[in-house]
Amino acid sequence: MAILNGIRAVIIDLDGTMLDTAGDFHVAVNRMRADLDLQPLAQETIRDFVGKGTENLMRRVLACDFDGAGVEAHFAQAIASYEHHYLAINGDHTSIYPDVHAGLAAMQALGLRLACVTNKPIAFTLPLLQKKELAHFFDVIYGGDSLPKRKPDPAPLLQVCRDFELHAAQVLAIGDSSNDAIAARAAGCPVLLLPYGYNHGESIQDVNSDGIVQTLLEAAHLLHA
């Protein structure tokens, strides 16, 4: 575990980091698939497709049934159906991971500024954070369509650094996947990872980071120390 000195702000991912949203993805994806007369997919299958934005999720889901041309032919209908169904159930099948509220409160108590940066569309992100009573912790919230580029591009993290008028080395990123780590490394931010998220079905231990913490509260304790 790297020693984290001089941290003044934290950027936190959403899906797989603060919230277990796999249930919402499962319901919305399979309602979309029913609209297209496709068979449902297991939650474990869909879970491995999460983390790189809605467009990538739709293409991965459609690729279970179609070749590349078929995926593109059905893409517009699929994404419209998916977004309709997701908005209808957003947060209904989602749970908060342990110690998320406590961890965010502890970081605020340390005087740290907080940002949420996710690849989830902002139209899904804001109501979900509000529904789970998390929105008030964050000074800045960016969805996957808030800026021209999304993670693993470093641009959203660098935008937060500009918003907070801090150097990247002063801004810690926390996430659950290689997307978060790649973006942080490219931005020059230190990064901690959580082991319970999605990470595209791959082992989080194999991802280049500054350490793995079990909860956001543990991360706050590290920063306090």
Same domain, 82 and 190: no
Q: Is the pLDDT of residue 150 over 80?
A: yes
Angstrom distance (rounded) from CA 9 to CA 171: 5
Same domain, 74 and 163: no
Residue 3 counted as domain residue: no
Angle at CA of residue 191, ends 56 and 147, nearest 5°: 45
Domain CATH code at residue 14: 3.40.50.1000
User: Looking at the 3D structure of the chain, how many domains does it have?
Assistant: 2
What is the value of pTM for the model shown? 0.93
What pLDDT is attached to residue 52?
A: 81
Domain limits for position 45: 22-89
Same domain, 205 and 113: yes
Catalytic option among 13, 20, 24, 180: 13
Same domain, 133 and 199: yes
pLDDT in tens, 70-103: 999 999 999 999 999 999 999 999 999 999 999 9
**Mean pLDDT along residues 35-52:** 92
Same domain, 129 and 41: no
Q: Is the pLDDT of residue 33 over 80?
A: yes
Same domain, 74 and 136: no
Same domain, 146 and 220: yes
Residue 2 counted as domain residue: no
Same domain, 80 and 146: no
Same domain, 191 and 123: yes
Domain CATH code at residue 31: 1.10.150
Same domain, 192 and 100: yes
Does residue 65 have an active-site annotation? no
C-alpha torsion angle, residues 99, 104, 107, 112 (rounded to 10) = 160
pLDDT in tens, 106-145: 999 999 999 999 999 999 999 999 999 999 999 999 999 9
Two structure tokens written together for 207: 């991802």
**Percentage of the chain surpassing pLDDT 90?**
90
